[in-house]
């Protein structure tokens, strides 16, 4: 069974510092247009082209630990 890469962003922890966006080599993270409860435009993930290789640099660079990268069995 193959695995699907998942990137989970906790929008309430995100302070929109942009480190994850800056360091993502694939360019699949971006500052969204929606605010969290604290008023920050939280980061969103868009990988329609399946570019993510699950390097998890985004999660490592996030000072708020708001990003989780994992693999899950495809359904």
Cβ-Cβ contacts under 8 Å for 60 (sequence gap 6 or more): none
Domains and CATH numbers, the chain: 3-73 (3.30.70.20)
Question: pLDDT of 49-67, one tens digit each?
Answer: 889 999 999 999 999 999 9
| Alpha carbon distance 26, 8 (integer Å) | 16
pLDDT for 49 equals 84
Burial (CB count <10 Å: 0-12, 13-18, 19+), residue 71: exposed
pTM over 0.85: yes
Question: Could you tell me whether strands 67-73 and 41-45 are parallel, antiparallel, or unpaired per DSSP bridges?
Answer: unpaired
| Alpha carbon distance 25, 47 (integer Å) | 13
Which stretches of the chain drop beneath a pLDDT of 70?
Answer: 1
pLDDT for 44 equals 96
């Amino acid at each position: 069974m193959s695995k699907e890469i998942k990137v989970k962003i906790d929008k309430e922890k995100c302070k929109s510092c942009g480190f994850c966006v800056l360091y993502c080599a694939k360019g699949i993270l971006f500052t969204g247009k929606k605010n969290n409860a604290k008023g920050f435009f939280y980061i969103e993930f868009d990988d329609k082209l399946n570019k993510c290789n699950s390097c998890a640099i985004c999660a490592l660079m996030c000072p708020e630990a708001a990003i989780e990268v994992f693999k899950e069995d495809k359904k």
